[in-house]
Amino acid sequence: MKVAIIGAGAWGTALAIQAVRAGTEAVLWARDAGRAAEMRERRENAPHLPGQPLPPALRITADAGEALAGAALALLVVPVQHMAGVLADLPALPPSLVAAKGVERGTLRLPLEILAMLRPGLPAGVLSGPNFAREVAAGLPAAAVVASTDARLREDAARRLGTASFRLYGQEDPMGVEVGGAAKNVIAIAAGAVMGAGFGENARAALVTRGLAEIARLAAALGGRAGTVAGLSGLGDLLLTCTGPGSRNFSLGVALGQGQPLADILAARNSVTEGVATAPALLARAAAAGVEMPITAAVAAVLEGSVDVAGAMDRLLARPRRRES
**Catalytic (active site) residue 184:** yes
Residue 44: the pLDDT is 98
Contacts of 66 (CB under 8 A, 6+ apart): 27
First to last CA, the chain: 46
Residue 323: the pLDDT is 79
Residue 325: the pLDDT is 73
Give pLDDT < 70 ranges for the chain: none
Would you state the CATH architecture of domain 175-317?
Answer: Orthogonal Bundle (1.10)
Q: Which CATH number is 3-172 given?
A: 3.40.50.720
pTM over 0.75: yes
Candidate list 184, 204, 248, 285, residue with the active-site label? 184
Domain map (residue ranges) of the chain: 3-172, 175-317
Residue 136: the pLDDT is 98
